[in-house]
Amino acid sequence: MTALAAILRAHIAQGGPMRLSDYMALCLGHPEHGYYTSRDPLGAAGDFTTAPEISQMFGELIGLWLAQTWLDIGAPERVVLAELGPGRGTLMADILRAGAAAPGFLAAVGRPAMVEISPVLRARQAEALAGRDPIWFDRAEDIPAGTPLLLVANEFFDALPIRQLERRKGRWRERVVTVDEGALRLACGPVVPWDEAAPDGALREVSPASEAVAAWIGARLATDGGAALIVDYGYGEPPTQGGDTFQALRGHAFTDPFAAPGQADLTAHVHFGALARAAKGARAWPLMTQGALLESLGLTARAQALLRAVRDDAAADAVVAAHRRLAHPDEMGTLFKALALTGPRAGAPPGFG
């Protein structure tokens, strides 16, 4: 039994079954035994690999997106460049390197703002961004207001807690985590007020934590202007059938989310439609697939430029493979989507026109 499993069982013995969202929040963010708070989960030796870790091309294209957006909003003298859940800091490092191509952009940015709960990953980010002097925040809401905001989040929202509601005998019920014969497992809990008709067996996932962050982004963009780019796996609107996307990953393979709490990555697909609606005050542009966005930002040309610079076949193969992984429909190209939010009066951001 993991240390966290014992804590969760004691918690349930005292307070009764807990919502799935509370379980997820504790598994990922428990100050001592949480999955993210206690390790660096990324890379081949970890549990999953993300787009910025696949290739520098991803972060460079996003860096150009951010720098162009800065130009499009009139190249303000000061801007807050923020990243939510920056992992190893690779994406921000690539963004800043590419962003240097726009004269004045880095000076306007100053110190990048990093929203990160993990002390382990904060240390990795400090290494990756040595000389850039980042400022860390526990929550997005702590980032000071008053200057335009340029925000990026890659594979951040999938890590935020979800609730699951299940339709049974004409009623919506909360899915809860309980202890059964000594093991943690999912159960059908109390009736909840949820105003939607659906056949029995229907399942809904909602992420109040995600919607709260989106609401903050919307409010900030409405008052201060700027733009946000949110990239993750998910859908515009959930499917009418099925819909259970709660999953656990360990060592690059799916595993039982209740078997070893705190040791596996827990995620759910991102409901982009809900994020766009929660971001009140901002303008939400039509959702794009990651593949289509990266191609329209010049992924093929970037890959060709890298290919001209490589010295051996193995390096060339790696560029070709990375291009495919990022953009091909059988890889990350269509499962991953990009949502752009801007200030209410802004024009279409790069790639979204």
Residues contributing to the site for ligand SAH (CB under 6 A): 28-29, 36, 42, 50, 52-53, 85-87, 91, 115-118, 121, 154-156, 159-160
The smaller minimum CB distance to ligand SAH, of residues 30 and 283, is found at: 30
The smaller minimum CB distance to ligand SAH, of residues 86 and 148, is found at: 86
Shortest distance, CB of residue 237 to ligand SAH, whole angstroms? 24
The smaller minimum CB distance to ligand SAH, of residues 28 and 57, is found at: 28
Shortest distance, CB of residue 344 to ligand SAH, whole angstroms? 27
**Cα separation, 222 vs 149, whole angstroms:** 10
The smaller minimum CB distance to ligand SAH, of residues 29 and 99, is found at: 29
Shortest distance, CB of residue 74 to ligand SAH, whole angstroms? 28
Positive or negative torsion for Cα 156, 159, 163, 165 = positive
Shortest distance, CB of residue 212 to ligand SAH, whole angstroms? 11
Shortest distance, CB of residue 48 to ligand SAH, whole angstroms? 8
The smaller minimum CB distance to ligand SAH, of residues 58 and 70, is found at: 58
Shortest distance, CB of residue 42 to ligand SAH, whole angstroms? 6
Shortest distance, CB of residue 340 to ligand SAH, whole angstroms? 17
Q: Which residue is nearest to ligand SAH (CB)?
A: 85
The smaller minimum CB distance to ligand SAH, of residues 58 and 258, is found at: 58
The smaller minimum CB distance to ligand SAH, of residues 55 and 164, is found at: 55
Tokens encoding 105:
């952009």
Bridge-based pairing state of the strands 113-115 and 135-137: parallel
Shortest distance, CB of residue 182 to ligand SAH, whole angstroms? 29
**Cα separation, 323 vs 119, whole angstroms:** 32
Three-state SS letters, 48-100: ECCHHHHCHHHHHHHHHHHHHHHHHCCCCCCCEEEEECCCCCHHHHHHHHHHC
Residue among 199, 234, 255, 231 at smallest CA distance from 95: 231
The smaller minimum CB distance to ligand SAH, of residues 52 and 238, is found at: 52
* Cβ pair 125, 88 in contact under 8 A: yes
